[in-house]
Amino acid sequence: MSIYDISLTLSARLPVWPGDPPVVLEQVEAMDKGAEYNMTRLAMSVHAGTHVDAPHHFLNDGRTVEALSLEVLTGLCYVVQLPHDVDEITAEVLRRTPLPEGMERILFGTRNSRWWAQGVEEFQTDFVAISEDGAQWLVERGVKLVGVDYLSVAPYHASVPTHRILLQAGVIALEGVNLSQVPRGFYDLYCLPLKLAGSDGAPARAILVRRP
Ligand SMILES: [Zn+2]
């Protein structure tokens, strides 16, 4: 069985969206300092690292993260690797990309994943993401979970339309996956966001298991 861990490692060095709180992992009890045990405190935005967006992120009356369906978060998934000259995942790009019919879960590998492979710590604004018409295309084809390999499904300067279209349609956005080592093909996705009450998103451990 080959398992691909597509989750980012949470640490203070991970880039976060400009203005968002940084990831803080602080040792509050340390055996090196005489404590009987080690204990770490975690502080971060729920949109740091590998995470899912719940509809409540962009729709004020939308459902919150603990209500997302595990049946959507796990199951057969197709990983696409887009050529590195693709700047935006538009309807036009999707039309010319060979995608299996009826896929409910699709993860898009792009040139973004190279930044994770290289350990780039500065936030990049020129990441590849899904355009408004690309989001519409995915919704019309019945996609229920879409994953991208940088920190937003939407382009940096146009966050609202792509998020609204996907979240309004009940599509789960999985953001910040590292697909640098994952070949195109079919996998079982296991994406388990933390069960946070009333939250607009949650960090997730996400893995892919290769289908035979
Ligand atoms: Zn998010």
Any idea where the domains of the chain sit in the sequence? 3-9+45-210
pLDDT of residue 70: 98
Q: How far apart are CA 80 and CA 75, in angstroms?
A: 16
Count of Cβ atoms closer than 10 Å to residue 172 Cβ: 24
**Interval between CA 58 and ligand 1 midpoint (Å):** 10
Q: Identify whether 57 is a catalytic site residue.
A: yes
pLDDT of residue 176: 98
Give whole-number Cα distances, 189 to 3, 69, 73, 145, in Å.
10, 14, 7, 10
pLDDT of residue 212: 77
Q: What is the pTM of this model?
A: 0.96
Walking along the chain (212 residues) 10 residues at a time, the average pLDDT comes out as 94 96 96 98 97 96 97 98 98 96 97 98 98 98 98 97 97 98 97 98 98 82
pLDDT digits (tens, 9 = 90+) for 183-199: 999 999 999 999 999 99
The residues with which 53 forms a beta bridge, in sequence order, are: 173, 201
Is 3.50.30.50 the CATH number for 3-9+45-210? yes
pLDDT digits (tens, 9 = 90+) for 73-89: 999 999 999 999 999 99
**Interval between CA 189 and ligand 1 midpoint (Å):** 19
**Cα 155 from chain centre:** 14
Write down the catalytic residue from 47, 57, 84, 163: 57
Give whole-number Cα distances, 193 to 35, 37, 134, 188, 205, in Å.
32, 28, 25, 16, 7
Query: Which tokens hold the place of 109?
Result: 């590998």
**Interval between CA 30 and ligand 1 midpoint (Å):** 33
**Interval between CA 35 and ligand 1 midpoint (Å):** 37
